[in-house]
Amino acid sequence: MPDTRTPTHAIPSVIAAVLIALACGPTWAVGISWEAVDGAGGAIDLYRNSHCTATAWMARHHGLRNSGETDQRLVATAWVYLQHCECDKPGSPTVWKVADGLGKMFGARNRTAPTIRERCRTSSNASERASFADYSAAIDAGRPVIVTFCYDSSSASGLAAAARREKSCFSAAGIGYMKYGDQLFLICRHGATTSEMGPAAQDVVDAAALGINTAGKPWGESGTSLLKWNGASKNVVLVFVGG
């Protein structure tokens, strides 16, 4: 009978290979699935603020950009329709009404607005909540979602507070999702550098560090990132368009 034992001199090499595999965290050890909306255009470079940039992206996706109109001009138009002064409050803060502003942009371009619904991840009111499953269902149906990540503790109280989009909030166009083991990520077009993302930068996923291939993938494109669904954010606001 042949001797099938591993030669003693080969044992160190076997151990080394195992240690390298453990250190690198091979992707075959983690289940990965993802989906993205077909035909989603590239990111719009961050201009004015993230809320207006994400809304302009959605407006462009729905064919609201006029012939010859630049992305920046479209963002500037969104700026007009989204901003709202809470002038009855101390300091007269400006809030950003994404769902309302997007609807007004459809009207201004003589288009009938599709159903626009605003929900959030965290609320004691069940009718205000949307889950990752709700988000992924919209993506599976080919409908991008405007996503706002909020980091102020007040946003966790529900939709009314989170949808004000105070200064810690960052918006992006959600064009897809990824399930990486038990972790849930959103594929987001935002057009920003990490340094421009404020608190949201901490929820950007380092795909390379996890062994996730970026070549030819949506999250590897300019101005696009994977962001954590359940990261450091206190709440996530989702604006569903259509459906």
pLDDT at 19: 38
Domains within the chain, CATH numbers bracketed: 31-241 (3.90.70)
- Run means of pLDDT, 10 residues per run, the chain, 243 residues: 43 39 47 96 98 99 97 98 94 95 98 98 98 99 99 97 96 99 98 98 97 96 98 99 94
Q: What tens digit of pLDDT does each residue of 195-215 get?
A: 999 999 999 999 999 999 999
- Token pair, residue 191, equals 């057009």
This prediction has a pTM of 0.87
Q: Which residues are CB-contacts of 125 (< 8 A; sequence separation ≥ 6)?
A: 158, 159
Q: Could you give the dihedral angle defined by the CA atoms of residues 191, 196, 200 and 205, in that order, rounded to the nearest 10 degrees?
A: 60
Q: Residue by residue, what is the 3-state secondary structure of 135-162?
A: HHHHHHCCCCEEEEEECCHHHHHCHHHH
Q: What tens digit of pLDDT does each residue of 182-198 get?
A: 999 999 999 999 999 99
